[in-house]
Chain A
């Protein structure tokens, strides 16, 4: 197994980089990622616990936006995602998964929302409908 790490660099061709070539960050990367995460975690908690914004829709959108940014921060600084890792396969798999996740989430919410808006409020004049 240990041989694999050394003789199987098919697309690198040279052996003079890392001993094990999984991408890893420096201390700087981890600290930057951590500081950004703390800020991006503190802001949404402060917004909700301090009742800073009254409009619930705006607040929800801000929370989702900050959450998305923080996920990207984690991906880059902690999971060391880059377009080059594993020859691009990591990113390809991630994009494919994200497409499926968006279809699942948005699709379920959309379909179920329509189902509810068509079924739940039981119009009073239902009997008069054809």
Chain B
């Protein structure tokens, strides 16, 4: 029995190591830990579209490897937005999108946002962007409310 136990422990260790190693190197890999409750809640808010948390937005903001897109009307954008974000009001999508199309397509990752969990403009904008063929678009469901609430910098003007 001792030998069997040792063998089974060996199998568990080798499988665990294999799983973690393969996961780390493959494109479809998932994080080792995830906040599932938050993720499921976000997906409910976004109707199944991919959502990102404040923590993830802070990280991409620091690294500058995502294009943040403000879905609100221009006057709200001018009053205050996440620094570096571009304005693409969902109401004026057809007229503004062609101007930003090249930048959006070149971005490695696009994150949309609006006021917060109660606004649906970022969801609408994400659907339009995905329909227009822009890859990897995600929604920051916390939006400006969560960004400001966390004491993050704000930029005013266009």
Q: Do A and B come from one complex?
A: no
